[in-house]
């Protein structure tokens, strides 16, 4: 059977043609995404390109994912920052959303105004364990209703508060769906129901609003957010199918123009003995998305995270060159650095830094405490130091000349020993940029998708 | 564990850099047996952790254990932080080997009471005593 997968990205629409009989990828092609006019325009241009390479392509099934028009923009609301607010953020990220901001405790007027400005597609409202605090989540439901934006609300908090919240939101005219609590009991994580509800809402409501309903009518699958397709591909590659083995634990980084996404497929168990594990348990497949770390649209905020002088010093970059290049990239996001130019060095160093920061936020932290019984370590989050494999995906890495140098930014550093980043992994690159495409294909032909994924990985 | 409609929630744990795990498990077991929803945080629990969990679970009382003699320093300021977090008047119970050396417990009790603890218990206190007090305090 012939499959055509389409990834409507924020910048490019990427097509992959797969022949399941020959068990191979026939060709890939891409064109600019045309969400302002009609997404089909960009699609048709890319298809022409594809057919130029392999001749007329009669596909039986068309599979699509999308991060066009800003992707799935979400806000997560919880009660305590380290508990339900963190669980809410984790649930939304694992559903493929771009979580712009996470709020905790009662929303202030200022925060309500901020949510108005963010104008999210969906809000995930959590707070309280089952039978725990319900005042805050009820108050936050009221606050969200008073924000004059069209977002729908997914309620995944204290079950005791669900009914009153449904009533409150119902009156306001906003749409609301109630699902299971993301944290039914202390430190018990239950994010799958919220994740599934977000996916369903995306299909039902957001696709239309993003101007994708035309394409939905001709596709075989239900359009899902691209990061969810990538996540599915990561899970497949790690765990395999009933017939074929996966490659086991790994970390993957997708560095883009607007965001940096990190996926870890690992149980993250402590690699040393005699440690106390603290904080929320984390899921085997975890995704974090950093909306403030990106090579173009989020360049300004990325620079904000960096001590520029130290950065230039360390990477032997002239401060003037640096400032000139940044200014140019912010004004013209389509700027591309020339090979082996000084700008290329700036690009690579910045990319490595973005991955460094994104990994710090994704991985666990270790802390040492001196007790009467000697030194005791405690770990919060995933210990990724023994991860055997570190995969680079996404355009910024696949198009770079030195992907290994960039990925190395995400490694463990002795100076910052508290971050449990990979110490000695082998580096791999998704050279054909097919993770999203294989995530889509995996729903139809998991064995083929896994084989193609493995084939596309290039060891660096 | 899901909270029943009528049962009360209590948060337990061993405070500070203390890793004595056995008594904590026995206490949690006994409290569960007495019909409480027990949120047991285990060992090496910080003040902040006790408070965050009590907020999220809407706890009715916090039971702090300390076995290694640094209890006084570890517990200092917990009441004030509870007030700050909106846990107004939540009962705070503390027990174990709270201080080092042979000190008159009534003195120790006074000091913990001044720090805002509702009840404090000397070494060797029976579980029944604590549970009886808890019943009077929160039901």
pLDDT tens digits along A6-64: 999 877 899 999 999 999 999 999 888 877 778 888 999 999 999 999 999 999 999 99
Contacts of A438 (CB under 8 A, 6+ apart): A233, A236, A449, A450, A452, A453, A456
Please indicate, yes or no, whether residues A97 and A178 belong to a single structural domain of this protein. yes
Q: Judge if A419 and A331 occupy the same domain.
A: yes
Whether residue A266 is found in the same domain as residue A383? yes
What single DSSP character describes residue A187?
Answer: T
A276 shares a domain with A152: no
Secondary structure of B49-83 in HEC code, one letter for each residue: HHHHHHHHHCCCEEEEEECCCCHHHHHCCHHHHHH
Which residues touch B113 (CB under 8 Å, ≥6 apart)? B120
Structural domain includes residue B81: yes
Number of domains into which chain B is organized: 1
Contacts of A334 (CB under 8 A, 6+ apart): none
Residue-level pLDDT at A398: 82
Instruction: Flag whether A390 is in a domain.
Output: yes
Distance CA(A324)–CA(A343), nearest Å, equals 9
User: Does B34 fall in a domain?
Assistant: yes
Q: Do residue A22 and residue A163 come from a single domain?
A: no
Number of domains in chain A: 3
Question: By percentage, how much of chain A surpasses pLDDT 90?
Answer: 75
Closest-CA residue to A182 (of A267, A281, A111, A109): A281
Beta-carbon contacts of A307 under 8 Å, excluding residues fewer than 6 positions away, are none
Min Cα distance A267 → chain B (Å) is 21
| Residue at A443 is within a domain | no
Whether B4 is in a domain gets the answer: no
> What's the predicted TM-score (pTM) here?
0.88
Residues A265 and A373 in one domain: yes
Establish if A441 belongs to a structural domain: no
CA-to-CA distance for A448 and B42, rounded, in angstroms?
46
List the domain range (segments joined by +) for residue A91: 73-206
pLDDT average, residue stretch A169-174: 94
Separation CA A334–CA A81 (nearest Å): 37
**Chain A CA closest to residue B5:** A131
Q: What is the CATH number of the domain that holds A77?
A: 3.40.50.360
Mean pLDDT for chain A? 92
B1 inside domain: no
As given in the structure block, the two tokens for residue A50 are 């594809």
- For residue B40, the distance in angstroms to the closest alpha carbon of chain A comes to 9
The answer on A374 and A266 residing in a single domain is yes
Residue at A238 is within a domain: no
Per-residue model confidence as pLDDT tens digits over A379-403: 999 999 999 999 999 777 887 888 9
Domain boundary among A146, A177, A206: A206
Measured distance CA(B81)–CA(A238) in Å, rounded: 44
pLDDT of residue B94: 97
Chain position carrying tokens 């309903």: A213
Each residue's pLDDT tens digit, B57-74: 999 999 999 999 899 999
User: Which chain A residue's Cα is nearest to B51?
Assistant: A80
Least confident range from A164-178, A214-228, B119-133: namely A214-228
> Which domain, by its residues, includes B67?
9-138
Q: Mean per-residue pLDDT for B18-42?
A: 94
A184 min Cα distance to partner chain B (Å): 7
Q: What percent of chain B has pLDDT over 90?
A: 80
pLDDT of residue B91: 97
Min Cα–Cα distance to chain B from A78, Å = 10
Helices of type H across A173-289? 192-201, 207-209, 213-218, 226-239
pLDDT at B1 over 70: no
- B70 catalytic? Reply is no
pLDDT at B6: 57
Chain B residues with CB inside 8 Å of A82's CB?
52
Residue A84: closest CA among chain B residues belongs to which residue? B56
Which of the four pLDDT bands, split at 50, 70 and 90, describes residue A296? confident
Question: What chain A residue is nearest to B21 in terms of C-alpha separation?
Answer: A276
User: Which chain B residues contact residue A378 at CB under 8 A?
Assistant: 44
> What integer is the mean pLDDT of A102-130?
96
- Per-residue pLDDT for B4 more than 70? no
Indicate whether A361 and A269 sit together in one domain.
yes
Contact B56 A276 (CB under 8 A): no
At B3, is the pLDDT very low, low, confident or very high (cuts 50, 70, 90)?
Answer: very low
| Same structural domain, A200 and A309 | no
Q: Is residue B114 a part of any domain in this protein? A: yes
Of A29, A171, A373, A264, residue with least CA distance to B69: A373
How many contacts does A have with B, using Cβ atoms within 8 A? 73
Q: Are residues A216 and A276 in the same domain?
A: no
Q: Is residue B3 part of a domain?
A: no
We report the CATH number of the domain holding residue B51 as: 3.40.50.280
Query: Is there a domain that residue A139 lies in?
Result: yes
CA dist B91 and B134 (Å) reads 9
Please indicate, yes or no, whether residues A43 and A93 belong to a single structural domain of this protein.
no
Query: If interface means Cβ-Cβ distance under 8 Å, which residues of chain B face chain A?
Result: 1-5, 9, 17-19, 37, 39, 41-44, 49, 52-53, 55-58, 68-70
CB-based contact A248:A458 (threshold 8 Å): no
A400 shares its domain with A378: yes
């Amino acid at each position: 059977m012939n499959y055509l997968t389409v990834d409507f990205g924020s910048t490019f629409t990427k097509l992959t043609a797969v022949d399941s009989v020959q068990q191979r990828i026939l060709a890939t092609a891409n064109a600019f995404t045309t969400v302002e006019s009609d997404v089909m325009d960009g699609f048709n241009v890319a298809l022409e390109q594809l057919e130029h390479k392999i001749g007329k392509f009669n596909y039986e099934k068309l599979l699509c994912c999308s991060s066009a028009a800003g992707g799935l923009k979400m806000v997560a609301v919880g009660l305590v920052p380290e508990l339900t607010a963190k669980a809410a953020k984790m649930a939304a990220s694992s559903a493929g959303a771009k979580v712009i901001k996470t709020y905790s405790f009662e929303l202030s007027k200022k925060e309500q105004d901020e949510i108005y400005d963010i104008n999210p597609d969906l809000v995930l409202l959590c707070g309280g364990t089952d039978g725990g605090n319900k005042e805050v989540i009820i108050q936050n439901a009221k606050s969200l209703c008073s924000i004059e934006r069209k977002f729908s609300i997914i309620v995944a908090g204290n079950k005791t508060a669900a009914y009153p919240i449904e009533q409150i939101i119902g009156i306001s005219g906003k749409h609301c769906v109630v699902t299971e609590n993301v944290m039914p009991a202390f430190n018990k994580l239950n994010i799958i129901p919220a994740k599934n509800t977000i996916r369903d809402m995306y299909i039902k409501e957001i696709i239309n609003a993003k101007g994708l309903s035309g394409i939905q009518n001709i596709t075989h699958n239900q359009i899902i957010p691209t990061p969810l397709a990538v996540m599915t591909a990561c899970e497949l590659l790690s765990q395999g199918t009933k017939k074929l083995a996966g490659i086991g634990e790994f970390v993957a980084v997708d560095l883009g123009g607007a965001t940096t996404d990190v996926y870890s497929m690992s149980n993250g168990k402590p690699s040393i003995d005699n440690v106390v594990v603290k904080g929320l348990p984390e899921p085997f497949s975890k995704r974090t998305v950093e909306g403030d770390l990106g090579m173009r649209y989020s360049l300004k905020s990325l620079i904000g995270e960096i001590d520029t002088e130290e950065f230039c010093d360390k990477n032997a970059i002239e401060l003037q060159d640096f400032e000139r290049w940044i200014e140019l990239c912010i004004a013209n996001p389509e700027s591309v650095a020339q090979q082996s130019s000084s700008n290329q060095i700036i690009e690579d160093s910045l990319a490595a830094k973005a991955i460094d920061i994104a990994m710090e936020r994704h991985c666990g932290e270790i802390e040492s405490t001196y007790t009467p019984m000697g030194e005791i370590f405690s770990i919060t989050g995933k210990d990724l130091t023994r991860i055997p494999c570190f995969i680079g995906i996404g355009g910024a890495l696949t198009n770079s000349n030195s992907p290994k140098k960039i990925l190395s930014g995400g490694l463990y550093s002795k100076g910052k020993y508290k971050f449990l980043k990979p110490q000695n992994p082998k580096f791999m690159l998704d050279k054909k940029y097919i993770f999203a495409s294989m995530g889509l294909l995996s729903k139809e032909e998991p064995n083929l998708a896994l084989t193609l994924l493995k084939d596309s990985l290039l060891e660096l | 564990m899901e909270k029943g409609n009528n049962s009360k929630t209590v948060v337990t744990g061993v405070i500070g850099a203390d890793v004595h795990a056995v008594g904590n498990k026995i206490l949690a077991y006994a409290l569960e047996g007495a019909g409480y929803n027990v949120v047991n945080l285990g060992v090496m629990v910080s003040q902040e952790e006790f408070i965050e969990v009590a907020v999220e679970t809407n706890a009715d009382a916090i039971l702090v254990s300390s076995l290694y003699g640094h209890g006084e320093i570890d517990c200092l300021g917990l009441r004030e932080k509870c007030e700050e977090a909106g846990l107004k008047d939540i009962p705070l119970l503390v027990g174990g080997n709270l201080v080092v050396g042979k000190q008159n417990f009534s003195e120790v009790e006074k000091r913990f009471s001044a720090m805002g603890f509702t009840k404090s218990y000397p070494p060797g206190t029976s579980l029944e005593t604590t549970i009886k007090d808890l019943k009077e305090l929160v039901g």
